[in-house]
Chain A
Amino acid sequence: MHYVLAAGGAAALGRLWFLPPLIIIVSLVYSASRYESPGRIVRRAFRLCVQIAGFMAVVLGILAWLSAGL
């Protein structure tokens, strides 16, 4: 049973690799719709990227903490 759960967890973690490209793309496109200068778009996208990743890391930490005893 534990092996099944571990395999499911590994598959879910593997799926997390699909997330970073989405964060980068959403940041770039959103910033491009706000600003015109390429340099400013890239700088703002980087900042937004870090903010989104940080926010999701916090949510992940909270969920992991809540589900630790299950």
Chain B
Amino acid sequence: MSRTKVDLKDPAFAAFLAFLVPGLGHFYQRRMFKALLYSACILGTFFTGLRIGHGQVVYFHWKQADNRTYAYLCQVWAGLPALPALAQSHLLRSKEAFDANYVSNEFSGPFQGNLLDAKGNVIGEISGTVEIRPDRNETANNRPAWSGTIRGTLKTPAGTRNIEGEVRRGGDHERWVLDPAVAPWPVRRVFGRFDETSDGGGAPVRGRIEGGIPRSLWDSYEAPLQDPRPSDSGSDASDLDRAHRELGGRFELGVVYTMIAGLLNILAIYDAYEGPAYEDEEDDEKTDTPPPDAGPEKT
């Protein structure tokens, strides 16, 4: 039962709006101060936490019992900003979208990276575009594989020139990798063997390439961190390991911030539904001074 004289309009609808976007329910009820306060505080806390955790602290993962994201049960109350995590989970994405080296269809995108020789020395910096396509021959052997073409410019200490070449996975070495299509990092890494096909005026450049393609917001926002798999090996086997290694204590800080934002919105939702817990007149009896004309009513 509401103890307030505030006009709550349709409380259930207001509570629903307050869940979707913190402060929106109060905006609907024309409680502008609270709408601003809730939206600034809760959304500010949520996105600050997301920023602290480099976008890797809000995701939904429930299949593997050891790595369930119980924190998401708190974060989800932040509403729309947290709901894409559900869409990014395996529920709405294909299983292969989270597999490294898997390419279902040819795609292209801007590329930025370094070209290295066999000993690992940097030859120069390549920027341009890359086209990646599935390697049907290798994939037929149950080994996800890909190859691609890079076109762009090679910048070396000697100067800058146009370059074109083939890039491919080139072996089972853990460093030869095309990152999964969906992951919480903004860049999809491409590490592979490079063979120049353009005529550079000298011996064609061969070596390895280490670079990346920018991920779209849809492919990275609240994408789940993947668990290690039995076939994985190497230091980057688990996304969770990589996130902890890169972020350190900031990972937990980000989780705590986003969890608190979600929990605070529960208070805001309840306030939109029921109104404030106390009438203003009930509070501060001791500190409030009585009005000057207060006194016993004369008959």
Query: Which A residues contact B (CB, under 8 angstroms)?
Result: 11, 15, 18, 21-22, 25-26, 28-30, 32-38, 40-41, 44
Contacts and interface: CB of A to CB of B under 8 A. Distances in A.
B283 A29 contact: no
B264 A26 contact: yes
Q: Is the interface of A mostly helix, strand, loop or mixed?
A: helix
Contacts, number: 68
B276 interface: yes
Contacts of A15: 249, 253
B57 to A, nearest CB: 13
B257 interface: yes
5 contacts: A26-B264, A29-B267, A33-B267, A33-B271, A36-B6
* 7 smallest beta-carbon distances between A and B, as pairs: A33-B267, A33-B271, A29-B264, A25-B41, A38-B33, A36-B276, A37-B280
B267 A36 contact: no
Contact of B37 (A26, A28, A40): A28
B260 A26 contact: yes
Contacts of A18: 52, 253, 257
B42 A29 contact: yes
Contact of A33 (B33, B48, B253, B270): B270
B284 A29 contact: no
Interface of B: 4, 6, 31, 33-34, 37-38, 41-42, 44-45, 48, 52, 249, 253, 257, 260, 264, 267-268, 270-271, 275-280, 283-284
B276 A28 contact: no
Contacts of B260: 22, 25-26
A34 B37 contact: no
A15 B271 CA distance: 32
Contacts of A41: 33-34, 37
Given A29-B41, A32-B38, 8 more contacts: A22-B45, A25-B45, A29-B37, A29-B42, A32-B276, A35-B276, A36-B6, A36-B34
Contact of B267 (A30, A35, A38, A40): A30
Nearest to B22: A29
A33 B277 contact: yes
B120 to A, nearest CB: 30
A41 to B, nearest CB: 7
Nearest to A38: B33
Contacts of A30: 264, 267
Given A18-B253, A25-B44, A25-B264, A35 B283 contact: yes
A10 to B, nearest CB: 13
Contacts of A11: 249
A18 B271 CA distance: 27
B275 to A, nearest CB: 8
